[in-house]
Amino acid sequence: MSGKKGIDKRLTSSFSQPKDKSFDFDIISKYFRNKDNSKAYQVLSDKTCNDLGFEDLYAFLDRTHSKIGQQYLYNKRRAIQRNEEQTKLDETIIDVLTRDSEFRISVQKKIEKLNHKDANHVISLF
C-alpha cells in the first residue's frame, strides 16, 4: 500500500488489532527501568511480572504506533498510579480517538514518525 489512501487504509484496518511482531523487552522496559517511579501507588516487581506472564499480557495489550509509545505503555502498566484526574483524561482521549477516526488517523501518522528503531534510545538523553 502506498500513498495517502494506502496509509489511511492500513491505519484504519490495524486500529485495535493485536500486533504480529516480536517484542524486545530489554529495550521496551528501558524507560521503566530508568524512570523514578517511587511515587507510584504500586510498582510490579520483576518476580510478580514473571509470575503473571506480564510480557505475554503486554504483547496482547500493545496497540501503540511508536517505539516511545511502547516504552510509555510498558511503564504505565508496571508503575500503577492512583490519579483519578489522569484516569479521566485518559478515558476522554480514548473516547475521542475511538469516535473520530479522521482525527485518530492524523495523530497516528504523526506518531508513526517515532517508530524508528533509534527512537528506543531517546530515554538515554535524560
- Determine how many CB atoms are found less than 10 A away from the CB of residue 39: 9
* Gap between the Cα atoms of 2 and 36, Å rounded: 42
pLDDT of 98 higher than 80 = yes
48 Cβ contact partners less than 8 Å away, ≥ 6 residues apart: 54
Q: Indicate the pTM of the whole model.
A: 0.80
Across residues 41-50, what is the average pLDDT? 98
Confidence bin at 16 (pLDDT 50/70/90)? low
